[in-house]
A and B are shown apart, each in its own frame.
Chain A
Amino acid sequence: MRAMSADTISLMSAPTKKPIARVVNTVERAVGRRDLVLARKGVRDSVVSLAGLLGCPVTNEDGREIGRLVDVVVKHGQDAYPPVSGLIVKVGLRRSFIDGARIAKLERHQIKLSSTTINLTDYKRRSDESLLDADVLDHQIVDVNGLRVVRSSDLYLAPLDKEIRVVGVDISFVTFLRRIFPGALGRRATPQHVLDWATVASLADTSGVVKTSGSKTALSQLRPADLADLIEDLAGREQSALIEMLDPELAADALEEMEDEELQGLLRGLSEGRAAELLSRMEPDESAEVLRDLSDEHREDILKAMDTKMAKQLRQLIAFDETLAGGIMTTHMVFAQENDTCGEALARLVENRDRDISDGVVIVDSKGKLVDHIQIIELVAARSTALLSTLVGPPYPTSVQIDSPLEEVIEEFSNNRGASIVVIDEKGKPVGRILADDLVDALKPEEQHGLSKGTGALS
């Protein structure tokens, strides 16, 4: 017994080698393992390799060849497994579209259609569709479970809920090599390392927007920092596509975690509208820092696309030199007056709870001048009907002028050992706060450019 328990302990301590913070199995939590269709034997046994199908004959009901398969069109909607909405077939020299409803049977070597006369039309891309060969196969996809960016070696199709759907992505190199071989050898489905479609985020589409509900749920389970890593690993167009498909709030959180340089590159790949939306949702000081480094023209385009009030606030922040208090402060604050009650103040904080800096309220007098900063803990401890004036008193918050140099800010911080200081304008009105982490960002030496960055694979 003693030996066994020792074993158990060592087994339990072993996983600590891996970073604990990493969230694994997010998808199992989100979707539930049983819901992944690749786990069902019936589906696993009926899969057909997309890479194998390409170039295969498409025949009509009589078995006569109509043409050869060029690509498969899938429709993204609410389904976790997108259904095939049509085929692109090369008939003679022309590429034609055949509606997915005409497919009678999908075999490893051919596709049988259900009627003798087939309506051939030219294919026009629709925004909610993507082409499996042109957009997904061999492209980068996000493996949400493994928190990594991989290339798809093959896609597997299978009948599911009365339609043919994409059910899995093969990411193994062996499968990739298989495709080099001609004939039956190259066409066989060899599920090696297959990810369920619901656990990946494919980023393909002309418009850049893929509405795959499954991937969206899976991605929303990630921590912003992990998401930021994934975003950084993606190539240009795929990167923009991922940002477009994310919930804006989540995307903004992830963007805050990214390196400035990286973020600038990313913003360049986004539409002004989207960039404006994301920057508005980020902490104003972080947004201002990124905007400051963009080209004048690009910055103006983004600011123009923004809500005017937000744009005005950001313009002010951008104008400040980064070596002054105003340049590193965040303008987000929750205000209250002395004759408000603690309950009201708390309610206001709760309203702003998605801002991670809502740690207290700034009390101002009737002229808007700074009176005090009251910590959330004091508000919680007091009766909810108590007036804030009862809480005002020493220690008063440290404040600096908006044009105080960085050295002075540091001086104040180290003298008072607080977590934040308030920034006031020349009239004594609070205009922002500097939190300890803003100061850390400001003091961090400029990231050395070029040689020190990157994965280090190339010296």
Chain B
Amino acid sequence: MTTTRKIRLAALLSVMGPGIIAGLSDDDPAGITTYSQLGAKFGYQMLWVLVLSTIALVIFQDLGARIGVVTRQGLIGLVRQKYGARSGTLSASALIIANFGTLTAEFAGIAVAGELFGISRFITVPAGALVVSFLVLRGSFANVEKVFFALSAIFISYIVAGFMAHPDWGQAARGVFVPSMPFTHDAIYLATATLGTTLAPWGLAFIQSYAVDKRLTRDDLKLLRIDVWTGSLLTGIIGFFVVITCAATLNKQGITDITDASQAAQALEPLAGTLAKALFAIGLVGAALLAASILPLSTAYSVGDLTGQPAALDDGPKEAPLFYATFGVMTVLASGLILIPGLPLIKVLVFTQILNAILLLPLLLFMFGISKDERLMGEFASSSRMRVVYGAIIALVATCVLALLWFSLKG
């Protein structure tokens, strides 16, 4: 019996990953910047938004994993099959735009990190794009992925920094459990961005296509769920500590509007002192490269899913032109956009996450529809209780988006 136990452990270790990758990539430059803004501007008050976002992330990542394992189809292909050509194209477009926005944010993160050391973005961004393309297309991605992974794990240092900054735990607890917020444009804007960066569209499509691509079976589902839950909760925990660190340092010092990266890096000073900048920059680059290598891949996969011929890296450009075109166009355009002179990077980072939240709506609705389809999901179809939960989360995202729209129109 020891042999089977050994095999189980090996299986766990190798399945472990996609959920955690998706989770840590949610703590990408856009995520860290958004959480920093949330803490700097509103202190502990809006921690509950992050808590809700994390719950939403756990629930929908779990659903995505389940849909992938049970139907053995990617999200976009499934939408096309169930809802037809227009819905399929709509969901694919939403995903492409959201992923493009997020990829832009990753390159913005690389630019921000470089500028902390005084290196021009005209050097760092093209270099980042080249490194990512080379590694992914040459297929040596799996090993390098681990390096990026380790670099982005630097953000776990926020947990230590959080304790060293001596935050007001009472107020933090209040922020977690008592939902309150100023009814202003800024508050709604950051709440929406927090939702959009935590429950990112690409993560949902990624976890599902991962399950399909790796041919995970229903037996693997338990392990995959452990992984997804771990990854999602880790995202929330890191986010929580970023917010309280910024609340205890920046907000306390009266820096309530982060306009450049060195301000965001200051939050790490209680931990790292003068090394804060370096620590922040390394984490930023690691997370950005990790996400920037997965995003175009995941998008290209979804496009292939729409056409009905999911392509793979094993195919050459001739066999899978659409796959390589998607990959190339996304990377070139996203990195090119960041090179527009005078672009306010921090604003770009947060804005792309607003876009995420908006584009999330159709995707969540489709996932909701698929989850209750018994012909597709069989015994795994969602119960009426879960449908209420899914509905509530979708309503929450819709409320944020509508409130933001109202504020924007009001001027």
Q: How large is the interface on B (under 10, 10 to 19, 20 to 34, 35 or more residues)?
A: 35 or more
CB-contact partner of B297 in A138, A173, A176, A458, under 8 A: A458
Nearest-CB distance from B57 to chain A (Å)? 19
Are B218 and A268 neighbours in the complex by a CB distance under 8 Å?
A: yes
Whose C-beta in chain B lies nearest to the C-beta of A172?
Answer: B307
Whether a CB of chain B sits under 8 angstroms from the CB of A184 is no
Please give, as numbers and ranges, the residues of chain A lying within 8 Å of B11 by CB-CB distance: 449-450
Q: How large is the interface on A (under 10, 10 to 19, 20 to 34, 35 or more residues)?
A: 35 or more
Stretch of A25-33, A232-240, A339-347 at the chain-chain interface:
A232-240
Whose C-beta in chain A lies nearest to the C-beta of B298?
Answer: A458
Nearest-CB distance from B377 to chain A (Å)? 10
Whose C-beta in chain A lies nearest to the C-beta of B307?
Answer: A173
Whether a CB of chain A sits under 8 angstroms from the CB of B215 is yes
Whether a CB of chain A sits under 8 angstroms from the CB of B66 is no
Are A151 and B7 neighbours in the complex by a CB distance under 8 Å?
A: no
- Bound together, the chains give a CA A454 to CA B14 distance in angstroms of 13
Are A177 and B308 neighbours in the complex by a CB distance under 8 Å?
A: no
- Bound together, the chains give a CA A242 to CA B216 distance in angstroms of 20
Please give, as numbers and ranges, the residues of chain B lying within 8 Å of A457 by CB-CB distance: 209, 213, 297, 300-301, 304, 310-313, 323
Are A239 and B72 neighbours in the complex by a CB distance under 8 Å?
A: yes
Are A140 and B308 neighbours in the complex by a CB distance under 8 Å?
A: yes
Using a CB-CB cutoff of 8 Å, which residues 294-345 of chain B contact chain A?
294, 297-298, 300-301, 304, 306-314, 322-323
Main secondary structure, interface of A, reads loop
Are B214 and A180 neighbours in the complex by a CB distance under 8 Å?
A: no
Please give, as numbers and ranges, the residues of chain A lying within 8 Å of B85 by CB-CB distance: 51, 138, 153, 176-177, 179-180
Whether a CB of chain B sits under 8 angstroms from the CB of A3 is no
Are A458 and B89 neighbours in the complex by a CB distance under 8 Å?
A: no
Whose C-beta in chain A lies nearest to the C-beta of B224?
Answer: A450
Whether a CB of chain B sits under 8 angstroms from the CB of A221 is no
Whether a CB of chain A sits under 8 angstroms from the CB of B280 is no
Interface string of A167-179 (1 = CB under 8 A from B): 0000101001101
Whose C-beta in chain A lies nearest to the C-beta of B323?
Answer: A457
With A138-B80, A151-B80, A457-B311 as contacts: A265 and B217 at CB distance below 8 Å: yes
With A450-B17, A457-B213, A458-B210 as contacts: A138 and B84 at CB distance below 8 Å: yes
Interface string of A319-354 (1 = CB under 8 A from B): 000000000000000000000000000000000000
Whether a CB of chain A sits under 8 angstroms from the CB of B71 is yes
With A179-B85, A455-B314, A457-B313 as contacts: A237 and B375 at CB distance below 8 Å: yes
Instruction: Give 8 A-B contacts (CB < 8 Å), ordered by A residue.
Output: A232-B215, A236-B72, A262-B217, A451-B14, A455-B312, A456-B312, A457-B301, A459-B142
Q: A138-B85, A176-B307 are in contact. List 9 more A-B contacts (CB 8 A).
A: A150-B308, A236-B70, A236-B71, A268-B217, A451-B17, A457-B297, A457-B300, A457-B313, A459-B294
List of 10 A-B pairs having minimum Cβ-Cβ separation, nearest first: A151-B308, A450-B14, A455-B312, A179-B85, A265-B217, A457-B312, A454-B214, A235-B72, A454-B213, A450-B15
